[in-house]
């Protein structure tokens, strides 16, 4: 049995705990009760159709056994479920299940289910309690910060809210069923949290990449703990995204553009961000930072199984165009999160678009 870890996301009266450990779903009854989830009002577990056959019965049994009134709703797996249409369907299900103001919505799944269920919780009866039971590595990122949203056909995550959970329950056993590609994609944001904040943690990832890819519980538990801790530290200082929180976007300016141009099927988010972080490292070096930034970034991302080369068939003009839609773009220059050292980034508001174009071209040659 690996160590059970716990951290608190410090947000004043909205503070909440994240529990990380092996077999934690077995303790869901006690933990839910401890954090004020009602046994009198019905709760709704929202999950997707890939997670449901693997983990829903377990959570349902534990909570029902502990005396909670449980209903469940299953949405199709994938980003397309983050829609207003799904939100409406889920509200229908919540009403039919008799959820009231004291009820809770439980997200069992990855970031898609977390964002969708979180937005249901934020909007149902003007807001009910929310619990996250993340089942992907990537969801360590979405479990901190309280951003919940659905997509609009014209823009991702554009209809949403800030809604903090009551608790997050990360059971490492659920991660054992993740496909390898999803494991690596999730580790991308783990490494990102190191790169923006904690050089020692980057070195640790470098040394433990193999264990992480093999889902070794001790390694995974530490990595999720560190990833959540860094995000929590950033978010605690800037809950509503006024400043510091921008550093979480390392690799995302290029990454989002790649996702948009490639279509959301070719590259997973974590894969696009990996390529984006290589781009940021190249940018840093081009602006005079030590070569080591690029070397270490590339080594660690490669070791955890992530792509570093930008697929050559993606059109550079289209990528540049997509970045200019990015809210971080300003006339002729771009705002970029640029590493200053491993574990430290700066917000550079003066990066020339022509340099970015060069970097994009270089990323197609990456080997
Ligand atoms: P996801 O939820 O789509 O999960 C990826 C795939 O893995 C899905 O097909 C899912 O069904 C499957 N899956 C999930 N858990 C599994 C398990 N234990 N075993 C087997 N299969 C499993 O994607 P994700 O990568 O977790 O999250 C991406 C989403 O998160 C995006 O919509 C993104 O916008 C959002 N996000 C939000 C925040 C935030 O702060 N709110 C931060 C980062 C990402
Ligand atoms: Zn991201």
Q: Is the pLDDT of residue 330 over 60?
A: no
Q: Is the pLDDT of residue 226 over 70?
A: yes
Which CATH number is associated with domain 180-363?
Answer: 1.20.1090.10
Ligand 1 centre distance from Cα of residue 216 (Å): 20
* Closest ligand by atom to 112 CA: 1
Q: Is the pLDDT of residue 327 over 60?
A: no
To the nearest whole percent, how much of the chain has pLDDT over 90?
88
Among protein residues, the one with the nearest Cα to ligand 1's atom 42 is 142
Q: Is the pLDDT of residue 241 over 80?
A: no
CA 15 to chain centre: 19
Q: Which CATH architecture does the domain made up of 5-177 adopt?
A: 3-Layer(aba) Sandwich (3.40)
Among protein residues, the one with the nearest Cα to ligand 1's atom 12 is 50
Residue 77 is predicted with a pLDDT of 97
Give the active site residues. Answer: 126, 147, 189, 231, 241, 245, 249, 252, 256, 269
Q: Is the pLDDT of residue 113 over 80?
A: yes
What would the mean pLDDT of 207-219 be, rounded to a whole number? 97
Q: Are the C-beta atoms of 247 and 163 separated by less than 8 Å?
A: no
Sequential DSSP letters for 248-291: GGTTHHHHHHHHHHH-TTTS-HHHHHHHHHHHHHHHHHHTT--T
To the nearest whole percent, how much of the chain has pLDDT over 70?
98
Ligand 1 centre distance from Cα of residue 135 (Å): 8
Q: Are the C-beta atoms of 216 and 356 separated by less than 8 Å?
A: no
The angle that helices 84-96 and 111-123 make with each other, rounded to 10 degrees, is 60
Residues β-bridged to residue 46: 73, 107
- The Cα–Cα gap between 363 and 253 comes to 14
Among protein residues, the one with the nearest Cα to ligand 1's atom 29 is 111
* Domain segments of the chain as ranges: 5-177, 180-363
Ligand 1 binding residues, C-beta < 6 A: 48, 50-51, 54, 77-79, 82, 109-113, 115, 135-136, 138-139, 141-142, 145, 147, 157, 174-175, 177-178, 182, 269
Among protein residues, the one with the nearest Cα to ligand 1's atom 17 is 178
| Mean pLDDT for the chain overall | 95
* Closest ligand by atom to 122 CA: 1
Residue 329 is predicted with a pLDDT of 54
Sequential DSSP letters for 304-321: TT---SPPTTS-HHHHHH
User: Ligand 1: which atom is nearest the Cα of residue 157?
Assistant: 34
What would the mean pLDDT of 312-336 be, rounded to a whole number? 80
Residue 2 is predicted with a pLDDT of 62
The whole model's pTM is what? 0.95
The residue among 2 and 147 whose pLDDT is bigger is 147
Structure tokens at 33: 């009760």
Residue 334 is predicted with a pLDDT of 84
Structure tokens at 309: 């080369």
* Closest ligand by atom to 116 CA: 1
pLDDT per position as a tens digit, 148-189? 999 998 888 999 999 999 999 999 999 999 999 999 999 999
Strands 155-162 and 147-152: antiparallel
């Amino acid at each position: 049995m690996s160590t059970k870890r716990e951290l608190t996301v410090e947000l004043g009266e909205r503070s909440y705990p994240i529990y990380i450990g092996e077999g934690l779903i077995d303790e869901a009854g006690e933990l839910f009760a401890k954090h004020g989830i009602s046994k009198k009002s019905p709760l709704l577990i929202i999950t997707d159709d890939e997670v449901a056959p693997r983990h829903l019965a377990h959570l349902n049994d534990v909570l029902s056994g502990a005396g909670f009134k449980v209903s469940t709703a299953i949405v199709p797996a994938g980003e397309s479920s983050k829609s207003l249409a799904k939100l409406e369907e889920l509200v229908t299900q919540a009403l039919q299940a008799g959820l009231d103001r004291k009820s809770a919505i439980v997200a069992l799944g990855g970031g898609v289910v977390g964002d969708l269920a979180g937005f249901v919780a934020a909007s149902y009866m003007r807001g009910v309690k929310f619990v996250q039971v993340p089942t992907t590595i990537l969801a360590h990122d979405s479990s901190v910060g309280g951003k919940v949203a659905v997509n609009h056909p014209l823009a991702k995550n554009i209809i949403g809210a800030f809604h903090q959970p009551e608790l997050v329950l990360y059971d490492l056993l659920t991660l054992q069923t993740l496909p390898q590609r999803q494991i690596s994609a999730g580790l991308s944001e783990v490494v990102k949290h190191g790169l923006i904040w904690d050089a020692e943690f980057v070195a640790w990832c470098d040394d433990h990449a193999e264990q992480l890819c093999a889902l070794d519980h001790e390694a995974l538990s530490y990595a999720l703990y560190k990833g959540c801790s860094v995000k929590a530290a950033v978010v605690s200082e800037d809950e509503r995204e006024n400043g510091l929180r921008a550093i979480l976007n390392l690799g995302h300016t290029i990454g989002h553009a790649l996702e948009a141009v490639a279509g959301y099927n070719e590259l997973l988010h974590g894969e696009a961000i990996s390529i984006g972080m290589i781009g940021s490292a190249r940018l840093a070096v081009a602006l005079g930072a030590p070569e080591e930034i690029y070397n270490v970034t590339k080594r660690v991302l490669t070791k955890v199984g992530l792509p570093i080369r930008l697929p050559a068939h993606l059109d550079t003009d289209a990528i540049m165009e997509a970045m200019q839609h990015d809210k971080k773009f300003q006339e002729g220059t771009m705002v970029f999160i640029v590493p200053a050292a491993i574990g430290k980034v700066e917000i550079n508001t003066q990066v020339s678009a022509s340099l970015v174009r060069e970097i994009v071209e270089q990323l197609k040659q990456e080997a």
